[in-house]
Chain A
Amino acid sequence: MESIDILKSQDHSSGRLLKDKLVLGAVIVLSLITISPIILIIWKLVVEGYRQISLDFLIENTPDTFEAMTAVANGELIPGGIANGIVGTLLMVILASALAIPIGILTGIYLYENQGSFMANITRDISDILQGVPSIVLGLISYLWIVKHITMGFSALAGSVSLAIMMLPMIVRSTEETLKMIPESLKEAALALGVPYHKVILRVLIPTGFSGLITGILLGISRILGETAPLMLTALGSSMINLDMTKPTSAIPLLIWEFYNDPNMVGLIWSSSLLLMAMILVLNLVSKQIVAKRR
């Protein structure tokens, strides 16, 4: 009896070995399927876009369609660059961050401090709903608030506000989650030293959760960097560098959309997308680095 049992169990274990191999194979294939789109995208962008990338591409405004047409007809590179888009994107992302980060962090702290209170639950629900609102709808809201009533026309401010609303719930969430991960014992340690509550938050909880907060912020920024739809309804676009918050402004994703619609400019799509992807990739790597360092 016993020997048969042993045989059986050996049989079982060699079967398990095969199963392990199959699972490993499946995991490898599935991960390849997962990463192949991103590799293919980057490959395509590099191959098609690298020729357009130069200093001019970073510091010149977009060419007009006639210049581009001539260049394309002569088989030359399209002149000019996307400086108006780069500056517009930076301007709007910085303003959006300046709005969303403080409000988001304060709200996150409020939610953390008032777990279970009625107002906190409502606030958290609204924030979650906001996260699910399609970005074009946020663009519409900003259009109604800012474009129609404040800047009386398309503007960088309106674009920033729509991006800030998009970013806000992400910051709220990441702040609350980060603070919840910090052990209660640290809070107690500080309170037991006679530290007033607000200083415990500012000087212990926030520094301890710093990497979590930064990661949330960087991911929020990389999320809004590529947003196009809300900007179409708010910032509109501009062929020149604009630093006036009340005037229409370009952005890299807006330019990509414009290039797509202009047969003469199609050559610029790849290099612009490449730049955008590179910016997002760098932000992601930086946030990964911060997390790794802090651990």
Chain B
Amino acid sequence: MTTNTIAEVKNPILSLNDLSIAYDKNYAVKNVSVEIKKNTVTAIMGPSGCGKSTLLRALNRMHELYENITTEGEALLNGKNIYEMPAIKLRRHMGMVFQRPNPFPTMSIYDNVIAGYKLNGIRTKKVERDEIVERSLRDVALWDEVKDSLFKKGTFLSGGQQQRLCIARALAFSPEVILMDEPTSALDPIATAKIEDLLVKLKEHYTIVLVTHNMSQAARISDYSLFMYLGELVEYGKTKNMFTNPIDPRTEEYLTGKFG
């Protein structure tokens, strides 16, 4: 396996060592080794079906929902093997945002933000909760839009607002890493631009791993990029370098739109 990796990342927050994931016997992710730097946006790119979602979901072990899946190799969060800690604990350190906004339809905006605490039965004082809700909604630039309707259902919001609400819900736990699987693919360009601005701001406090099949999005907001093809990590490096000077011919072909 020849992987073109950048010079070692210092104190990576996430390190994947030879991570392979198979559905039944079919490998969807093959021997991926990557170190992800703290407080960056790292984009995972590649044509549809190349294993981006599978890799991302393996990072908070959501892939374990599928019974036919096997994982080899290791993934470390701050040096600790994520497959050896309880999944429930891991997921509280690794927020996730999905392709389509999925606020809980029975809950108000307020309850959606605080859902991680409520559903887990974590007791908090009211002032604390109010503070978490306000901070999280401010972080996603939604506070001013919804502060007068906190107790309306989250599903009344527009698609872009709902997605920002879902990001706020993930932020409420103050996770270390936020995993996002094509979070803007269901949104219009204006809502997309808002979320992109947001991600750039959020990396001050969080580490973001973003799956996108939108190359210009990756170019606009990511610091590092992974290019995957048929389950393999083809190239990993600073986004700027990869876009201006790709090393692998497959990366170049993809970036110039020859396939994908």
Q: Output the least CB separation between B136 and chain A (Å).
A: 13
Query: A183 near B: Cβ within 8 Å?
Result: yes
Q: Output the least CB separation between B90 and chain A (Å).
A: 8
A183 vs B105: C-alpha distance when bound (angstroms)? 11
Docked-complex contact B91 and A193, CB < 8 angstroms = yes
Query: A196 near B: Cβ within 8 Å?
Result: yes
A77 vs B50: C-alpha distance when bound (angstroms)? 82
Residues of A within 8 A of B170 (CB): 192-193
- Which A178-192 residues have C-beta < 8 A from chain B? 183, 185-186, 188-192
User: What residue in chain B is nearest A182 (Cβ atoms)?
Assistant: B105
Query: B169 near A: Cβ within 8 Å?
Result: yes
Docked-complex contact B102 and A188, CB < 8 angstroms = yes
Docked-complex contact B65 and A199, CB < 8 angstroms = no
Query: A136 near B: Cβ within 8 Å?
Result: no
User: What residue in chain B is nearest A183 (Cβ atoms)?
Assistant: B102
B95, B103, B120: the one within 8 Å of A192 (CB): B95
A208 in contact with B104 given A192-B95, A193-B92 (CB within 8 Å): yes
Query: B62 near A: Cβ within 8 Å?
Result: yes
Query: A195 near B: Cβ within 8 Å?
Result: yes
Q: Output the least CB separation between B108 and chain A (Å).
A: 13
A188 vs B115: C-alpha distance when bound (angstroms)? 13
Interface residues as binary, A182-225 with B (CB distance below 8 Å gives 1, 0 otherwise): 01011011111111100110011001101000000000000000
User: What residue in chain B is nearest A186 (Cβ atoms)?
Assistant: B102
For the complex with contacts A192-B96, A194-B90, A199-B121, 11 further pairs of A-B residues with Cβ separation under 8 Å are A185-B102, A189-B103, A190-B115, A190-B119, A191-B91, A192-B91, A194-B120, A194-B173, A195-B88, A195-B120, A208-B104
Q: Residues of B at under 8 Å CB distance from A?
A: 60, 62, 65, 87-92, 95-96, 98, 100, 102-106, 115-116, 118-121, 166, 169-170, 173
Q: What are the 7 tightest A-B residue pairs by CB atom distance, in nearest-first order? A: A194-B91, A192-B96, A194-B92, A193-B116, A185-B102, A195-B119, A189-B102
